[in-house]
Amino acid sequence: MRIALAQINPTVGDIAGNTAKHLDAIERARQQGAELVVFPEMSVLGYPPKDLLLKPAVLAACAAAVERIAAACTDIAAIIGFAESNPSPTGRDLYNSAAVCAGGKVVHTRHKSLLPTYDVFDELRYFEPGAAVDITSVNGIDLGISICEDLWNQQDVVSRQLYHDNPIDQLAARGAKLFVNCSASPFAVRKNEFRRKLIQHAAKKHALPVVFVNQVGGNDELIFDGNSCVVDAAGNLIAQAKDFEEDLLVVDLDADPGSITNTPRDGMASVYAALVMGLRDYCAKCGFKSLVVGLSGGIDSAVVAAISAAAMGPENVTGIAMPSRYSSGHSKSDAQRLAENLGMKFMTVPIEPAHLAMDHMLTAAFDTDLNDITAQNIQARLRGIILMGYSNQHGSMLVTTGNKSEIAVGYCTLYGDMAGGLAVISDVPKTMVYELARHINAHELPGAIPESTITKPPSAELRPDQKDQDTLPDYAVLDEIVERYIERHDSAAKIIADTGLDAEIVNKVARMIDLNEYKRKQMPPGLKITSRAFGFGRRMPIAQRWRENK
């Protein structure tokens, strides 16, 4: 059997545009002699549709699109993903469905059984779990169709079984001869390896080939890496789609592993590709054609500027340096050199006139000198006004440059450096920002980031001779604590016991993380690249008093 894996990049809610992508892929698959073309989960609506699912008009448009796509499946079959109304008066309103289209109509529908409701996933908010796990035949081959999470409850691979059923085992027991999994499985560093393991395990356990089709593209915080693939009944990879771009991969099920040409990126190469695609798609799907970024001369804004230039073309990115009375000479020259290296537009707007005015206004009004925090935040917020002014004037989206480490401990100013439309590296810990900078300089945009930007000690330059490490522990230490506290939910006590780090530092960092939830509540969406990012997948109360040592 010849199968086409239609790894598309849908836009959430763009049912007309996504339908066109389906029809195009079906036509190209037909021309290449495919008998079946498989699309990702929820391909008609795009994933995750979130509360668009509560709109009856969205569901009606979805149903109409499914009919239209099915009508095009005359001499070819297709499996497409969509949200379907549940006709029962009891239970949740919807199913997360995959429709098998053939002979010009929908011939079979499979309802997703396992509905992830953790981290960034909210599926039980909308969907009723599928009751039946049926197989269906296409051109004489019995297909066992599963949808994303249905593949993820295999007890030999996953440590905790969240669900009581294993649809893969059930499909095999019902006589499936080929597994097809339609997914919208987001990127995280190293996740593709684990996903591959799950796929290969299912194949080997049941001695059946697996066709895995994943969504690609960025949707708000989530980056979908694609990496669709086919493994044979022995678990060998026999086909591999591209990562981080659309692909139509046509595969004969008896293909040879030797024919694979794509190699999934890993490490910093995958993080870089993910962030570039995530930013590019966010702009494209929101309708922005250009970006503006504040350039401090530091490493965070340099890395974000490089990613911006790669995503949108350097001619569509403007860097603005906004020196203050505390800015060092190297900050200004590093910012300018970076902009020149990247070939982006550049301007300098010294903040002194507004800084002076605001200082006088507040000192007079409060009838006292400004304290340190007040004085520092004014500078960051005046810069926010300048950058948002450029954004308003030119229609460019402001990209936010904060990294995960500083956002964790609140070493950032709300409405100041936290302002913007998308936080590009808000899930990248500071130590990884350095790795990314070196990767960019070595492999992506050779030598673009000035060496002094990488080597000088990090500073916010909001008062004379300020250094990050006046306030924070070394970033290597901070990042270890942040990773354990945020991603693993370890307590401070466990972190101290497991790492031997200084108890006072660990407790202080944990407390800073807890206390700064209110800032993160108001941050822009940030691209997710780790197992737990700030934002939609981390839902902490703000007015709360959990204290470990109380």
Of residues 205 and 345, the one with the C-beta less far from its own copies? 345
390/475 with CB nearer its own copies: 390
Q: How far is CA 430 from CA 4, 158, 318, 343, 496, in A?
A: 41, 30, 24, 25, 21
**Cα 526 to Cα 224: distance, rounded to the nearest angstrom:** 14
Tokens representing 491 are 């307590």
Instruction: Give the C-alpha separation, 509 to 513, whole Å.
Output: 6
Residue 346 or 475: which CB sits closer to its own copies? 346
Residue 439 Cβ vs its own copies, minimum distance, rounded to whole Å: 26
Active site residue 73: no
Do 515 and 541 meet the contact criterion of CB atoms below 8 Å apart?
no
Active-site choice (112, 332, 430, 519): 112
Give the helix/strand (H/E) hosting 77. strand 77-85
Element (H, E) at 94: strand 94-102
Tokens, residue 317: 């990115």
Least separation, in Å, of the C-beta of 107 and its own copies?
28
Quick one: tokens of 150?
């249905």
In 175-314, DSSP assigns E strands to 178-183, 210-214, 216-219, 222-225, 229-231, 237-240, 247-252, 291-294
Sequence-distant (6+) residues with CB within 8 A of 539 are none
Which of residues 306 and 398 has its CB atom nearest to its own copies in the complex?
A: 398
Looking at the Cβ atoms of 244 and 536, the one nearer to its own copies is 536
Nearest one of 319, 510, 308, 334 to 425, comparing CA atoms = 308
Q: From the CB of 269, what's the least distance to its own copies, in Å?
A: 24
- Closest approach of its own copies to the CB of residue 358, in Å: 5
Q: Could you tell me which of 518, 544, 327 has the C-alpha nearest to residue 415?
A: 518
- Residue closer to its own copies by CB (options 190, 521) is 521
Assess whether 521 carries a catalytic annotation.
no
In whole angstroms, what is the distance from residue 122 CA to residue 113 CA? 14
The minimum distance between CB 523 and its own copies, in angstroms, equals 7
Q: How many CA atoms lie within 13 A of 395 on its CB side?
A: 5
Half-sphere exposure of 524 (CA within 13 A, CB side): 25
> Could you say which of 62, 101, 148, 229 is catalytic?
148
In this structure, what DSSP letter does residue 369 have? P
255 or 362: whose CB is closer to its own copies? Answer: 362
Tokens read off for 478: 């901070």
Half-sphere exposure for 89 (CA within 13 Å, toward CB) = 0
Assess contact for 427 and 523: CB atoms under 8 A.
Answer: no
CB of 204 to its own copies, least distance (A): 23
Catalytic residue among 35, 41, 149, 480: 41
DSSP code of residue 320: E
**Nearer CB in complex with its own copies: 342/386:** 386
- Angle, helices 267-286 vs 299-312, to 10°: value is 60
- Amino acid identity at 178: L
CA 458 – CA 528 distance, rounded (Å): 24
197 an active-site residue? no
> What's the rounded Cα separation, in Å, for the pair 99 and 391?
43
Provide the 8-state DSSP code for 381: H
Alpha-carbon distance 130 to 113, whole Å? 5
For the bound state, the minimum distance from the C-beta of residue 333 to its own copies, rounded and expressed in Å, comes to 19
Which lies closer to its own copies via its Cβ, residue 44 or residue 437? 44
Closest CA to 87 of 104, 63, 116: 63
CB of 266 to its own copies, least distance (A): 26
Nearest distance, CB of residue 493 and its own copies, angstroms: 7
* Residues catalogued as catalytic: 41, 112, 148
